[in-house]
Amino acid sequence: MRALPRHTARSGAVTRFFWLAAACAALCLSWAVPGQARGPYRIGYVPGAMISLESKNRLEMAYARAGIPVEFLPLPQKRSLYLAVEGAIDGDAGRIYGLEKRYPSLVRVDVKLLDFNGAAYVVKGQEIGRFRDALLDVMKVGALRGVVWAEKIMKGRPMESVKTYEALFAMLLEGRIDIALSSRLSAEEIFSHDPRRYGRIRRLEPLVFRTSFYHYLNTKNADIVPRLEEALRELRAEDYWHDEGGN
């Protein structure tokens, strides 16, 4: 029988050491680049709301600039927020300032995406005059379901909720509500599709609500916040977006 080489045991030990060192190096590399050792971050947005869609469009550029993989999921308004709060998805594309106070499991990426304008819309021909908070006490109001700013404005007063802006303005035209609360950007987009039909609607002045929109992540993803903030600052410094008058 042929004798085994005397250095076999030593060779096996060297081989094991080599693979252990390689595994440790790979693990250290994954730690050194936060957010890169996992699949795309899953971010919810509302395709039927122009303000959310524009937030998503801007975030696509910010995530690309930061070198972070991302996947955007079209979801209903309330569900997108709920899933982000629960951590079932990684975040929500865009929401109003200060949402983390209401939902502590969310962290704000503290560079604004865009300015947001909320307005009240009525059917023409009524002697309503300018917008004032007292109108919300005596008129029937409607808004998109899950819109936090509208709920905040109503302060617990009754409000009809619908799933789409088309349904909201249909209710207004049919007289089922007296005032529709909507983002200016979404309303203008809807009206542009059928100017004749929506020509009966007018926007009240002044604006009902004005704030900035921010990207929110579940706190489990807080490690990528600084990179996204840096990317957004760079894009703003380059004047990549023009926000005259808000949205």
221 in the same domain as 110: yes
Helices 50-66 & 225-237 angle (0-180, nearest 10): 100
**Does residue 246 sit within a domain?**
no
Range of the domain at 137: 117-210
CA distance 162 to 142: 8
- Whether the pLDDT of residue 180 is over 50: the answer is yes
At residue 21, the pLDDT reads 44
pLDDT, tens digit, for every residue of 56-96? 999 999 999 999 999 999 999 899 999 999 999 999 999 99
CA distance 247 to 148: 17
204 in the same domain as 176: yes
Q: Cα 82 to the chain's mean position, in Å?
A: 12
**Does residue 59 sit within a domain?**
yes
125 in the same domain as 193: yes
- Mean of per-residue pLDDT scores for the chain: 86
Residues in the chain: 247
At residue 156, the pLDDT reads 86
How much of the chain, in percent, has pLDDT values that exceed 90? 74
Segment 181-186 shows an average pLDDT of 93
Residue 48 makes CB contacts below 8 A (sequence gap 6+) with: 163, 164, 165
At residue 10, the pLDDT reads 46
Q: Domain with 216 in it: what CATH number?
A: 3.40.190.10
